[in-house]
Amino acid sequence: MPLLRQPLLLLARSQQVKKLVTAMPVSAGIVHNYVPGESTESAVEATAGLVDDGLTVTLDFLGEDTLDAEQAEATVAAYVDLLEQLAARGLTRKAEVSVKLSAIGQALPEKGRKIAIENARTICRTARNAGTTVTLDMEDHTTTDSTLSILRELRKDFPETGAVLQSALHRTEADCRELAHEGSRVRLCKGAYLEPEGVAFQERVDIDKSYVRCLKVLLAGQGYPMIATHDPRMVEIAASLASRYGRAQGTYEFQMLYGIRATEQLRLTETGETMRVYIPYGTEWYGYLMRRLAEKPSNLSFFAKSLISKK
């Protein structure tokens, strides 16, 4: 594990550091590399631009670990507003939404599961009425069972709901087998959280080997794999496995984050692949930014330099 990843991922959970970083106007500079803006309008505008370039999109209203039912409701309202604005602009054929269950009530005491399911249903129903879909983001390993069980519940009424699995976890190859059935949309990523040895691979090479094993299961299966990675090796391996398993373009897709490897996103589109860009937006960008910095320490030095030069 790179030296800086662990402390940065720990900071991503620190309320004190969050307060400090978000109060500094300079943080906006680096944030804009990864987040097009804080308003729904800025997210819809960014979507329209990417769709014009032939890309597809999934949007994430930033926020996580909500312990307040009203805040969870506000997040649902933000998704409803977003979906209505996307529909009004004729963008829902190309743009869907990604939702973190912890942002819509999963972690609330006692009734968390029930509230999260109800809230997710509202978003799924609005998405379906708008002609699009929802994918449930995956958070740290303590939530995996709960998230997959809520996914199963939601899929009874909304089978189009997408799942996310993380190759860092030991369990994921088995989860891929379970979810590689017809109609099942599954995003495979490496995993953005700091996870303990008991449940997760610790070395990059083991996470990558697991990613390839999971890719094989998903691409050989009957579902719709969503290959979420910026890793050139994984992209190349996925493309060659897709061809080995006789997968036509459009029966799977690639996904990358907004602002990361934008040229590669366009290149893949030009080769006929479906490329979906994950656009996060909103005021709660702190945890997201810290996870991106943890993945790319060169961005951290850029961030630190900009802090110093503003003093």
Ligand X SMILES: Cc1cc2nc3c(=O)[nH]c(=O)nc-3n(C[C@H](O)[C@H](O)[C@H](O)COP(=O)(O)OP(=O)(O)OC[C@H]3O[C@@H](n4cnc5c(N)ncnc54)[C@H](O)[C@@H]3O)c2cc1C
Contact residues: ligand X, CB under 6 A:
137-138, 164, 166, 189-193, 228-232, 255-257, 260-261, 278, 295-296
Question: Is residue 60 flagged as an active site residue?
Answer: no
Burial of 236 per CB tally in 10 Å (0-12, 13-18, 19+): exposed
Q: Residue 69 or 300: which CB sits closer to ligand X?
A: 300
Of residues 121, 178, 110, 115, the one with CA closest to residue 144: 178
Catalytic residue among 185, 187, 276, 292, which? 187
Give the residue with the Cβ less far from ligand X, 49 or 232. 232
Catalytic member of 60, 137, 175, 208? 137
- Please give the Cα distance from 58 to 133 (Å, whole number): 9
C-alpha span between 16 and 68 (Å, rounded): 19
Assess whether 137 carries a catalytic annotation.
yes
The distance of closest approach from Cβ of residue 255 to ligand X in the complex, given in angstroms and rounded to an integer, is 4
Q: How far is the CB of 301 from ligand X (least distance, A)?
A: 14
User: Shortest approach of ligand X to residue 4 CB, angstroms?
Assistant: 13
Kindly tell me which of 72 and 138 has the beta carbon lying closer to ligand X.
138
Closest separation in Å from C-beta 137 to ligand X: 4
Measured from the CB atom, the residue of 126 and 255 that comes closer to ligand X is 255
* DSSP calls for 57-83: EEEEE-------HHHHHHHHHHHHHHH
Could you give the C-alpha distances from 110 to 48, 120, 251, in angstroms and in order?
A: 40, 17, 40
Q: List the catalytic residues.
A: 137, 187
